[in-house]
Structures are given as structure tokens and as C-alpha cells.
Amino acid sequence: MDDHMKEKIIIEEFKIKKRRQIILTVPMIIGMIVIVIMGENPEFAIPGIPVMYLMFGIIGFYIFAIIFSLKNWRCPACNKYLGKGMSPKFCQKCGVKLQ
């Protein structure tokens, strides 16, 4: 396989990883909004879901999201963590082009 083909594969794998990260942020933002609403309005409730279960669910989801991100947000070439930015052009560790 030539270098151009490897580069295309790496860029496509990065696109998939980035898409997963973006999709993950939607429920994280919703969870944060619910936490803020609950903090401002102690009587807030979602019908049929006790507040404690809701909090445990949100906390559990955030733990899952952190673990998922640590496994997903890695360079397709060297498997090193890509850092906190959402759109790196290159891997900081191996220098491979990501976009």
C-alpha cells in the first residue's frame, strides 16, 4: 500500500472518530442543562424518574463518556491520545496528517 493510500485511510478513520466525539457531546450538553435546571429548581422532576436516579444516570453517563473519549480520541496511526482540541490537523505525537 502506497503512502497516499495510507494517508487517505488515516484521514477517513479520523473523520469517524471525530464524528463519534461530536455525537457524544449532544447528550453531554443535555445532561449539563438538566443539572443546571435541577440546581436552580430543587423541585424539578421528569415524570416517572426519581431525581436521585436521574442524577446517578447523568453521572454514570459522564463516566462512560470520559472512558469512551479516552479510548476513541486517539491517533489512527500511532494510537496516542489526540488531546483536548476537536480539530487537530496533525497528530502531536507522530506528525501524521489527520485532516
pLDDT digits (tens, 9 = 90+) for 71-94: 999 999 999 999 988 899 999 999
Q: What is the mean pLDDT of the chain?
A: 90
What pLDDT does residue 86 have? 86
Q: State mean pLDDT over 52-65.
A: 90
By residue range, what is the domain housing residue 9? 1-39+48-99
Please tell me the predicted confidence (pLDDT) of residue 49: 81
What distance in Å separates the CA atoms of residue 21 and residue 19, rounded to the nearest whole number? Answer: 5
Write the CA distances from 49 to 11, 29, 43, 46, integer angstroms. Answer: 42, 19, 13, 6
Residue 34: is its pLDDT beyond 90?
no
Total domains in the chain come to 1
